[in-house]
Amino acid sequence: MSQSGDLYQELILDHGRKPRNFRPIEGGAARGVHDAEGYNPLCGDRVKVFVRMGGEVVEEASFQGSGCAISTASASLMTDAVKGKRPDDVRALFDRFHDLVTGKPVEDGLGKLLAFSGVSEFPMRVKCATLAWHTLLAALEDRATPVSTE
Ligand code: ZN
């Protein structure tokens, strides 16, 4: 594996073991907090994503749940990546991320999320990598129904 490949692997392992922003956000809708739950039956990953809006932008994002290393690392890196972004920018970022993990050519601008480029070689893992993102979008849109990747 190439050197950058090793680095990416390290990043996923690190975030899988020690996820960042792994906690709920208290306060509920009255304080601009939205949440949603997601489930990936293919792998058994479960995630609950919290997002706190400050005006037009995501001020804070966090998650809880249990899943494989890829799903945990993806949720962890996502909650860092979306901070300070408007919902439209979050959607655009997810589109690029989705292209990355499904092996489509991507423009730059993914930062650490590029660590997931290897997922495109394992189609079974695409849903692990995208679960937290689908769930975040549901939270931003206040969709009550739990997200399932199936
Ligand atoms: Zn998984």
Residues 52-96 have pLDDT tens digits of 999 899 999 999 999 999 999 999 999 999 999 999 999 999 999
Look at residue 1 in the predicted model and tell me its pLDDT.
45
pTM score of the predicted model: 0.92
Give distance in angstroms: CA of 30 to centre of ligand 1: 33
As given in the structure block, the two tokens for residue 30 are 């009255």
Q: Residue 106 phi/psi, 5° resolution?
A: -125, 145
Q: Ligand 1 mean position to 70 CA, how many Å? A: 6
Q: Which CATH number fits domain 3-145: 2.170.130.10, 3.90.180.10, 3.90.1010.10, 1.10.357.10?
A: 3.90.1010.10
Ligand 1 is an ion; residues with CB less than 5 A from it: 43, 45, 68, 71, 128
What is the distance in A from the centroid of ligand 1 to the CA of 27?
Answer: 29
DSSP-assigned letter for residue 22: B
Q: Using alpha carbons only, what angle is made at residue 32 by residues 70 and 41, rounded to the nearest 5 degrees?
A: 30
Closest CA to 2 of 81, 118, 102: 118
Cα(71) to centroid(ligand 1), Å: 5
Instruction: Please tell me the distance between residue 64's alpha carbon and the centre of ligand 1 in angstroms.
Output: 14
**Residues 6+ away with beta carbon under 8 Å from 30:** none
Reply yes or no on whether the pLDDT at 99 is more than 60: yes
Reported as a single tens digit per residue, the pLDDT across 104-124 is: 998 878 999 999 999 999 999
Question: Cβ atoms within 10 A of the Cβ of 41, count?
Answer: 11
Residue 101 Cα to ligand 1 midpoint, Å, equals 14
User: Could you identify the residue written with the tokens 């479960």?
Assistant: 46
Ligand 1: distance of its center to the CA of 146 in Å? 17
**Contact yes or no for 98/116 (Cβ under 8 A):** no
The beta strand positions in 14-117, using DSSP E, are: 33-40, 45-54, 57-66
Report the separation in Å between the CA atom of 55 and the middle of ligand 1, taken as the mean of its atom positions.
Answer: 33
Strand-strand pairing, 33-40 and 57-66: unpaired
